[in-house]
């Protein structure tokens, strides 16, 4: 009888323990998606790698693969749905939309255009008038020569006197040799010239004509994807915003994170670049990623005027701020 009472007591205790134990919650499955870069990884992309490394994507329930475009163009990859998001440029979004490829810019990575024309200081090129009779190293962008022509025309300089050298992609191996001046992004090649002790004359595009203070680069998606997955887009932008805000506040730790993921980059160049871009990502804007309609409209108007696009593009459909986190 005593044995039976003991067994019953043990069963009651076991039942109570079982009832009190909480059932382990299943780990929610992360939503898988990809973001395709525009080029090889560099400091334009630091906030993306920070969001990956520090778990900001995971916090939002996302499993994000960061990939390079390979032989394809990012705009085509995103436009055809092979990647949910990508890194592109305002110019490319406008051109794509004019060709019935409904890409949408959902954030400006950098608030102002940080590119411009650079030459060795010894060449004495200090204004668009000095471009006359010189060799221009071109990377063969569709709008490149039109931009150069507009800037020179504004300065009443003769664009036809410039010799265009096509297929120039490596600034440091060609400047002063194959070409007298080239188009660079100061946050990469410009700061690298400083690091190497190479003196440059640099003419920022945004200072030469306000129309060229456009967004480059931008985060893109497709109209189709955004219509079907608006909450996912908001989650991605929340994570990316945290990634770039961290990079702004902590440029050197952010540089270390980028180097961890892309060890082939030059560590010193990355850190100098990050110190520069930390001031440029958001600049004077109220938050990272914000875009202005007037910046889009004036560049659309210019592209259409220069016949770089067959039809004009509706500004309100080319970009949106609605997926950025509320501040």
- pTM value is 0.90
Say if 12 falls within a structural domain.
no
Confidence tier at 71 by pLDDT (50, 70, 90): confident
Same domain, 127 and 66: no
Same domain, 227 and 311: yes
CATH code, domain carrying 202: 3.40.190.10
User: Which of 190-200 are b and which e, b meaning 16 or more Cβ less than 10 Å from the residue's Cβ?
Assistant: bbbbeeeebeb
pLDDT at residue 70, as a whole number: 86
Contact of 240 with 289, CB cutoff 8 Å: yes
Phi-psi label, residue 289: left if phi above 0, alpha if psi -120 to 50, beta otherwise: left
- Dihedral, CA of residue 301, residue 307, residue 313 and residue 318, to nearest 10: -80
Confidence tier at 72 by pLDDT (50, 70, 90): confident
Q: Is the pLDDT of residue 4 over 60?
A: no
Say if 258 falls within a structural domain.
yes
Q: What is the mean pLDDT of residues 228-256?
A: 98
The DSSP code for 289 is: B
Q: Tell me: the pLDDT tens digits for 12-34?
A: 334 433 444 444 455 679 999 99
Same domain, 147 and 259: no
Which residues span the domain enclosing 206? 115-212
Same domain, 164 and 71: no
Last residue of a domain, one of 159, 188, 212: 212
Q: How many domains does the chain have?
A: 2
Residue 320: count of CB within 10 angstroms of its CB: 16
pLDDT at residue 15, as a whole number: 44
The SS3 call for residue 196 is helix
Q: Tell me: the pLDDT tens digits for 101-122?
A: 999 999 999 999 999 999 999 9
Distance CA(253)–CA(45), nearest Å, equals: 14
């Amino acid at each position: 009888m005593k044995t039976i009472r003991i067994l019953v007591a043990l069963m009651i205790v076991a039942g109570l323990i079982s009832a009190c134990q909480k059932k382990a919650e299943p780990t929610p499955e992360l939503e898988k998606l990809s973001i395709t870069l525009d080029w090889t990884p560099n400091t334009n992309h630091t906030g993306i790698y920070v969001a990956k490394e520090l778990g900001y994507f995971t916090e939002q329930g996302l499993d994000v693969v960061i990939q390079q475009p390979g032989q394809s163009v990012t705009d085509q990859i995103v436009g055809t749905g092979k990647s949910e998001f990508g890194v592109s440029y305002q110019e490319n979004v406008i051109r794509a939309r004019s060709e019935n490829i409904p890409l949408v810019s959902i954030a400006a990575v950098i608030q102002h255009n940080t590119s411009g024309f650079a030459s060795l200081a010894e060449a004495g090129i200090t204004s668009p008038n000095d471009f006359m009779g010189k060799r221009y190293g071109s990377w063969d962008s569709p709008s490149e020569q039109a931009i150069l022509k507009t800037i020179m025309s504004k300065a009443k300089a003769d664009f036809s006197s410039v010799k265009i050298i096509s297929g120039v992609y490596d600034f440091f191996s060609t400047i002063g040799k194959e070409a007298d001046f080239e188009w660079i992004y100061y946050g990469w090649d410009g700061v690298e010239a400083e690091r190497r002790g190479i003196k440059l004359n640099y003419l920022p595009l945004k200072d030469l004509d306000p129309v060229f203070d456009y967004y480059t680069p931008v985060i893109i998606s497709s109209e189709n994807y955004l219509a079907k997955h608006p909450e996912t887009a908001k989650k991605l932008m929340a994570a990316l915003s945290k990634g770039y805000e961290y990079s702004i506040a902590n440029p050197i730790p952010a540089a270390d994170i980028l180097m961890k993921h892309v060890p082939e980059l030059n560590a010193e160049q990355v850190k100098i670049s990050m110190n520069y871009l930390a001031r440029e990502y958001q600049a004077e804007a109220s938050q990272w990623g914000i875009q202005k309609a007037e910046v889009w409209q004036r560049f659309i108007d210019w592209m259409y005027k220069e016949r770089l696009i067959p039809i004009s593009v509706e500004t309100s459909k080319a970009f949106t701020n609605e997926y950025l986190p509320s501040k």
